[in-house]
Amino acid sequence: MNNEKQIVDALRKRGNKVTPQRLVTIEVLMTFREQHFSVEELFQGVKQRNPDVGMSTIYRTVQILEEMGLITKRNFDDGFARYELCELDEKHWHHHLICLKCGKVIEMQDDFLEALEKEIEEKKDFIIINHELKVYGYCSDCYAITKGDKFD
C-alpha cells in the first residue's frame, strides 16, 4: 500500500528532489486516498497548507508521480482529467461504473476479466499487462429519481 514514506523514498531513489513544496503536495495527495482528484483540487488543498506553492510545482509533481506509476490518470469522459493513487501490489487497476446522469463514479474492485485474459493470451499469443473497464449506466439515486422517464 502506498504511503507518504514510500512515495518520498521512491522519489529519492529516482533522483528527484524532495522539497518542502513537494512534501506538502504528497501530504495532500494522501488525503485523496479513496478519491479521484483533479490537479486543481490537489492545488487547492496544497494552497491551504502552503500558499507559496505554485501550480507549476503541482503539475510537475503529478507528472513525475504518474511516470513512476504511483498515480494514474483517469478519463471518465466528462472533459476533466482525474488521478488516483496506485497500489504498489495491485495486479490490475480496478474498474469504474459511471453514471450518465449525475457523473458519479463508483469503483468496482471485482475483476471478472481474468478468464477472458487467459483465453486471449492463449488464442492470440498476446501477453496482457493490464486492462481498464468503464461501465456506463445510471446510479441508484438517478434511476430512482427518473424511474419511468426516458434516459438521455
More confident residue, 32 or 95: 32
d(CA 87, CA 91): 9
For residue 143, give the H/E element and its range. helix 140-145
More confident residue, 31 or 94: 31
66 shares its domain with 132: no
Which pLDDT belongs to residue 93? 62
d(CA 39, CA 89): 25
d(CA 75, CA 105): 11
Which pLDDT belongs to residue 78? 78
122 shares its domain with 53: no
The whole-chain average pLDDT of the chain stands at 85
pTM of the model: 0.68
7 shares its domain with 70: yes
Residue 103's nearest CA partner among 72, 84, 79, 85 is 79
Number of domains in the chain: 2
Q: Which domain holds residue 13?
A: 1-88
Which pLDDT belongs to residue 125? 94
| Residue 26 scores a pLDDT above 90 | yes
d(CA 104, CA 100): 8
| Residue 79 scores a pLDDT above 70 | yes
